[in-house]
Amino acid sequence: MAEPFLSLLLALFAGLLIGLEREQSARVDAEGQSDILGGARTHPLVSVSGACAMLLAKPLGPAVLLVIMAGFLSFLALSYAHDLRTSGSRGLTSEVALLLTFLLGALSAADPAQLPLRQKVMLVSSVSVVVTLLLSIKPRLHALVHKASKEDILATLKFLLVALVLVPQLPDQAMGPLAVLNPYKIGLMVVLIAGIGFTGYVAIRVLGAHQGLGLTGLLGGLVSSTAVTLSLSGRAKTEPRLQDSFAMAIVLASSVMFLRVLVTVAILAPPLVRPLALPIGAMAAGGFIASALLWRHARKKTSTEAGEIPFTNPFELATAFKFAAFFALVLLGAKAATTYLGTGATYLTGILAGTTDVDAITLSMTRLAQTGAIGAPVAVTTILLGVASNTLVKAGMSGFAGGWAFGRRILLVFLGLLGLGGLGLLLVWQG
């Protein structure tokens, strides 16, 4: 008996949420006229009308709902045509928002036999919140669209094509030599790493790398700490008075990279987090402390904006396929090394793979540890060796691109961080 009243309350909530946002976003002209169709009163009334129409359709048949909805659509069409004649140009946002409000009201009163109450509450509430969010972020959304290039849109579509279309079609079974290659799992790894880099890239596009070197280091560590190292090291050579600021951003980017490795492992192989947390956490904490000291030292000298660092969209199909092939090669090489040559060869694989990419060795070790092909100590040690190798390579890059004095500064910091990581690993295995 209470279900119809709960449905009306749910419809009222959905309409009120959207209506409040519409009222808040409205612009009122000198004559007191609003530029939107409906506000904090109209939208709840429309949603409750949709719920009542659905309730009437239960005893009287679906034709009642269709007739009421047709009348409502006619009203929206006449209102839009009138505004178009008077203003000359108009968007459809207000009309679509009202239509969605009506449909959400009707959905709120759907038959519980077809849509259980719990699912109905979750569905209507979720859609209402998402619609309200989309309406409220109009300025930010338009700014993002203007910042995005055609290449960004194309790369995004490629990412969605791989993540939502291609990867689900891959066979989910072990195959190949040593039965260690699973195409579906490899595809998921590619999507995971591309997604992390893609998130960082979008953040940089929205917030802008020009906001400061510290922000560049934080966000750049999500996309590519190597890109940050190469770009800022080159600038350190031409702007020596800002070397402390550039060093701070490079160390900060690598510190974020350490945490990125830990998050990746936590998602894919939670049992490895405990032994990995102390050494990785020690390196990340040391890196953040070193970054703070460098920032404090640089602040005494001068302050600067970062300018634009040449980040490109991290997802391209060719890059994705290369990463998948490299990941499969590392996975196969690590498994073969462990099977035929022992754990020492696995460690060598981690060192060599880390010189070019820390993600591939991290993913391959978590995968092998999950399947029981190697033990947790071997997986954790190999991941840390890959991280260490990658860190030292970046120190070499900073010296090559930024000069010996700048590179020595980065190398000393990185050696200190690796020392903390080694000490953390020692404590883990002794404990």
- Among residues 107, 136, 165, the one where a domain terminates is 136
Distance, in Å, from the CA atom of 67 to the CA atom of 26, rounded to the nearest integer, reads: 31
Distance, in Å, from the CA atom of 364 to the CA atom of 189, rounded to the nearest integer, reads: 9
Give the domain extent around 212: 149-430
Q: Are residues 297 and 232 in the same domain?
A: yes
Q: Tokens in use for 85? A: 């004649």
Is residue 144, in this structure, part of any structural domain at all?
no
Is-contact 389 354, C-beta < 8 A?
yes
Q: Are residues 109 and 165 in the same domain?
A: no
**141-150, 333-342, 380-389: which has the minimum mean pLDDT?**
333-342
Going from the C-alpha of 342 to that of each of 75, 244, 345, 395, the distances in angstroms are 76, 44, 6, 30
Beta bridge partners of 34: 28
Q: Reply yes or no on whether the pLDDT at 301 is more than 60.
A: no
Q: pLDDT at position 59, please? A: 84
Q: pLDDT at position 288, please? A: 93
Top pLDDT among 357 and 419 is at: 419
Is residue 89, in this structure, part of any structural domain at all?
yes
Is-contact 397 248, C-beta < 8 A?
no
Top pLDDT among 141 and 89 is at: 141
Q: pLDDT at position 303, please? A: 47
Confidence at 339, pLDDT banded by 50, 70, 90:
low
Q: Tokens in use for 284? A: 């990340």
Three-state secondary structure of 359-401: HHHHHHHHHHHHHCCCCHHHHHHHHHHHHHHHHHHHHHHHHHH
Q: Are residues 187 and 279 in the same domain?
A: yes
What's the whole-number mean pLDDT along residues 84-91? 67
> Could you tell me where the DSSP H helices lie in 26-176?
42-60, 62-87, 93-108, 117-136, 138-147, 150-160
Q: Are residues 188 and 246 in the same domain?
A: yes
Q: Are residues 109 and 254 in the same domain?
A: no
Q: Are residues 308 and 375 in the same domain?
A: yes
Q: pLDDT at position 98, please? A: 87
**75-79, 183-187, 234-238: which has the minimum mean pLDDT?**
234-238
Classify 181 as helix, strand or coil: strand
Going from the C-alpha of 165 to that of each of 169, 193, 327, 389, 429, the distances in angstroms are 7, 17, 21, 35, 43
Q: pLDDT at position 280, please? A: 92
Q: pLDDT at position 305, please? A: 46
Q: Which residues of 176-205 are buried (b: 16+ CB within 10 A; e: fewer)?
A: eeeebbbbebbbbbbbbbbebbbebbbbbb
Is residue 142, in this structure, part of any structural domain at all?
no
Top pLDDT among 45 and 228 is at: 45
Distance, in Å, from the CA atom of 240 to the CA atom of 82, rounded to the nearest integer, reads: 64
Is residue 250, in this structure, part of any structural domain at all?
yes
- Among residues 136, 170, 195, the one where a domain terminates is 136
Instruction: Please write the tens of the pLDDT for every residue from 257-277.
Output: 899 899 888 888 888 888 899
Q: pLDDT at position 244, please? A: 80
Q: pLDDT at position 88, please? A: 60
Instruction: Please write the tens of the pLDDT for every residue from 375-390.
Output: 888 888 888 988 998 8
Q: Are residues 160 and 132 in the same domain?
A: no
Confidence at 407, pLDDT banded by 50, 70, 90:
confident
Our count of domains for the chain comes to 2
Q: pLDDT at position 150, please? A: 74
Average pLDDT along the chain: 78
Is residue 143, in this structure, part of any structural domain at all?
no
Instruction: Give percent above pLDDT 90 in the chain.
Output: 7
Instruction: Please write the tens of the pLDDT for every residue from 11-34.
Output: 889 889 888 888 887 665 444 455
3-state helix, strand, coil in the chain (%, to 5): 85, 0, 15
Of the candidates 89, 18, 3, the one whose C-alpha atom is nearest the C-alpha of residue 54 is 3
Q: Tokens in use for 298? A: 């640089």
Question: Side chain identity at 119, as an amino acid letter?
Answer: Q
Is-contact 69 53, C-beta < 8 A?
yes
Q: Are residues 251 and 381 in the same domain?
A: yes
Distance, in Å, from the CA atom of 160 to the CA atom of 182, rounded to the nearest integer, reads: 21
Q: Tokens in use for 245? A: 């600021």
Top pLDDT among 78 and 223 is at: 78
What pTM was computed for the model?
0.55
Q: Are residues 158 and 273 in the same domain?
A: yes
Of the candidates 414, 399, 425, 400, the one whose C-alpha atom is nearest the C-alpha of residue 290 is 414
Q: Are residues 120 and 267 in the same domain?
A: no
Of the candidates 336, 348, 350, the one whose C-alpha atom is nearest the C-alpha of residue 177 is 336
Q: Are residues 12 and 132 in the same domain?
A: yes
